[in-house]
Structure 1
Amino acid sequence: MSPSVRSEKFHFPSREYSLDAIPSLSVRGNGDVPVSHIDPKVLRRATLKIDFYLIPIIGMFYLLSFLDRTNIGNARIAGLETSLNMSPKQFSIALTITYVPYILMELPMNLLMKRLGANVTLPLMVILWGIVCACQGAVHSYYGLLVCRFFLGAFEGGLFPGITLLLSIFYKRHAMQLRFALMFSVTSLAGAFSGLLAFGIRDLNGQYGISGWRWVFILEGGFTVAFGLATFFFVPASPKTIKILTEEERQTYCRDLAYDWSGDADTLGTYLEVFSWSEVASVFTDAPHVLMLFLPFFFNGATIYGLANFTPTIVNALGHSANYTQLLTVPPFACSFVFSIVSAYFSDKYKNRGVTATICALIAAAGFALFLFSNDKDVNYGALFLQITGAYAMAPCLSTWNANNVQPHYRRATAVAIGYIGTNSGGIASTWLFTDPPHFRKATRINLVFSLAMATCAVGTIIYFRARNAQRQRVVQRLVQIHGDDTGVGGWDSLAERKRLGDRHPRFEFTT
Structure 2
Amino acid sequence: MKQQLPRLKIRRAMLTVNEKKLLRKIDYLIVPWMTLLYLLSFMDRGSIGNAKLYNLEGDLHISDRQYLNGLTVFFFPYAFIEPLSNVFLRRLRPSVYLSSIMLAWGVIMTCHGIITNYGGLIAVRFLLGLTEGGLYAGVIFYMSSWFKRSEMGTRVAIFFSAATIAGAFSGLLAAAISNMNGVGGKAGWQWIFILEGLATVIVAISSFWVIQDFPITAKFLTEAERIFVINRLQNDSKQSASGETFSMKYIVQSLTDWHTYVGLGIFMGFDGPLYAFSLFTPSIIHQLGFGPTVANLLSVPVYVWACLITCGVGVLGDRTNSRGYINCFFFGIGGIGYIILLVSKSAALSYFAVYLAAASIYPVAANSATWFACNFEGSYKRAVTVAIVIGFGNLNGAVTSNVYRAQDTPFYRLGHAVVLGYIGIGLASSAICTVMLRRENARRDRGERDEVIQGIPNDNAQERNGVYASVDEARSAKGDKWSGFRYIV
Fold agreement, TM-score > 0.5: yes
The letter of the residue matching 1:474 is R
Q: State the Cα distance separating 1:485 from its structure 2 match.
A: 8.2
The one-character-per-residue Cα deviations of 1:402-446 (angstroms, maximum 9, x if unpaired) are: 111112011111101111122112111111111211101111122
Identity %: 30
The letter of the residue matching 2:240 is A
Give the alignment partner of residue 317 of structure 2, picking from 327, 330, 347.
347
Q: Which runs of 5+ in 1 are unaligned?
A: 1-33
Other-structure match for 1:115: 91
The one-character-per-residue Cα deviations of 1:341-368 (angstroms, maximum 9, x if unpaired) are: 1111111111121011111111111111
Other-structure match for 2:66: 90
Other-structure match for 2:118: 142
Question: Structure 1 stretches (4+) deviating beyond 6 angstroms?
Answer: 34-37
Q: State the Cα distance separating 1:213 from its structure 2 match.
A: 0.3
Q: State the Cα distance separating 1:474 from its structure 2 match.
A: 2.5
8 Å CA contact 2:453–2:470 kept in 1: the answer is no
Q: Distance in 2 between matches of 1:508 and 1:220?
A: 45
Task: State the secondary structure of the residue aligned to 2:345.
Answer: coil
The alignment's C-alpha RMSD in Å is 2.1
Q: State the Cα distance separating 1:41 from its structure 2 match.
A: 7.0
Q: Distance in 1 between matches of 2:77 and 2:123?
A: 11
* C-alpha spacing 1:36/1:294, structure 2 compared with 1 (3 Å): farther
Task: State the secondary structure of the residue aligned to 1:293.
Answer: helix
Instruction: Give the length in aligned residue pairs.
Output: 469
Q: What's the TM-score, normalizing by structure 2?
A: 0.92
Give the alignment partner of residue 300 of structure 1, picking from 254, 266, 270.
270
Task: State the secondary structure of the residue aligned to 1:421.
Answer: helix
Instruction: Point out the more displaced range, 288-297 or 499-508.
Output: 499-508
Q: Does 1:227 align with 2:203?
A: yes
* C-alpha spacing 1:36/1:231, structure 2 compared with 1 (3 Å): closer
Instruction: Point out the more displaced range, 367-376 or 127-136.
Output: 367-376
The one-character-per-residue Cα deviations of 1:113-167 (angstroms, maximum 9, x if unpaired) are: 1211111110101100000000010001110111011111110111111101101
Give the alignment partner of residue 244 of structure 2, picking from 250, 270, 273.
273
* C-alpha spacing 1:355/1:37, structure 2 compared with 1 (3 Å): farther
Q: State the Cα distance separating 1:480 from its structure 2 match.
A: 8.3
Alignment of 1:36-55 (within 5 A): 38=14, 42-55=18-31
Q: Distance in 2 between matches of 1:491 and 1:195?
A: 60
* C-alpha spacing 1:369/1:394, structure 2 compared with 1 (3 Å): same
Task: State the secondary structure of the residue aligned to 2:446.
Answer: helix
Other-structure match for 1:6: none
Q: Distance in 1 between matches of 2:201 and 2:380?
A: 30
8 Å CA contact 1:485–1:493 kept in 2: the answer is no
Other-structure match for 1:386: 356
The letter of the residue matching 2:434 is I
Task: State the secondary structure of the residue aligned to 1:511.
Answer: coil
Instruction: Point out the more displaced range, 292-301 or 34-43.
Output: 34-43
Q: Distance in 1 between matches of 2:403 and 2:12?
A: 55
* C-alpha spacing 1:449/1:252, structure 2 compared with 1 (3 Å): same
Give the alignment partner of residue 104 of structure 2, picking from 128, 137, 141.
128
The letter of the residue matching 2:290 is H
Task: State the secondary structure of the residue aligned to 1:345.
Answer: helix
Q: Distance in 1 between matches of 2:11 and 2:322?
A: 23
Other-structure match for 1:253: 229
Q: Which runs of 5+ in 2 are unaligned?
A: 1-9, 459-467
Give the alignment partner of residue 421 of structure 2, picking from 449, 453, 475.
449
8 Å CA contact 1:71–1:194 kept in 2: the answer is yes
The one-character-per-residue Cα deviations of 1:201-230 (angstroms, maximum 9, x if unpaired) are: 011111111110000000000010110001
Q: What's the TM-score, normalizing by structure 1?
A: 0.88
Other-structure match for 1:161: 137
Q: Does 1:502 align with 2:474?
A: no
Q: Distance in 2 between matches of 1:40 and 1:190?
A: 41
Instruction: Point out the more displaced range, 348-357 or 304-313.
Output: 348-357
Give the alignment partner of residue 187 of structure 1, picking from 155, 158, 163.
163
8 Å CA contact 2:78–2:133 kept in 1: the answer is yes
Q: Does 1:473 align with 2:445?
A: yes
* C-alpha spacing 1:511/1:211, structure 2 compared with 1 (3 Å): same
Q: State the Cα distance separating 1:370 from its structure 2 match.
A: 1.5
